[in-house]
């Protein structure tokens, strides 16, 4: 009899101590794809040919903060510069921020600034909400 009570007691304590703990994240539970997203800008000369620019900067106007695009490997494709990646999506709000992207054409010393709206934060991936894909120098 005591043996059955002890087994029942141990089983009850064991079951009572099982408690599922949910991992809490600031963004809550969500299901995202394994894709890696990025947002970039193409730079071209006045004839539409891609160019390598200088003084490329990314500035978050909404938070008044200079950003590191999260990728510093140089040109992957001539004239294409990465502005944001999933590596730094927390630098952007979920609703989207105004981002000022600036670059200089080394042959003319002309500097162009464009504004993009980029979202990140609790979204699964960074995304361009508005702004040009290509910037052409005169």
Give the per-residue pLDDT at 8: 52
User: Which segments in the chain show pLDDT lower than 70?
Assistant: 1-25, 70-75
Q: Which residues pair with 17 in a beta bridge?
A: none
Give the per-residue pLDDT at 31: 87
The whole-model pTM stands at 0.74
């Amino acid at each position: 009899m005591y043996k059955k009570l002890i087994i029942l007691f141990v089983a009850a304590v064991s079951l009572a101590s099982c408690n599922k703990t949910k991992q809490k994240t600031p963004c809550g539970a969500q299901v995202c794809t394994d894709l890696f997203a990025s947002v970039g800008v193409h730079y071209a000369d006045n004839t539409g040919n891609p160019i390598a620019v200088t003084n490329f900067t990314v500035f978050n106007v909404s938070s008044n903060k200079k950003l590191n695009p999260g990728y510093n490997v140089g040109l992957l494709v001539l004239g294409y510069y990465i502005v944001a990646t999933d590596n730094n999506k927390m630098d952007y709000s979920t609703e989207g921020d105004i981002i000022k992207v600036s670059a200089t054409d080394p042959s003319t010393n002309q500097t162009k600034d464009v504004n993009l709206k980029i979202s990140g934060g609790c979204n699964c991936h960074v995304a361009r909400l508005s702004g040009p894909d290509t910037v052409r120098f005169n």
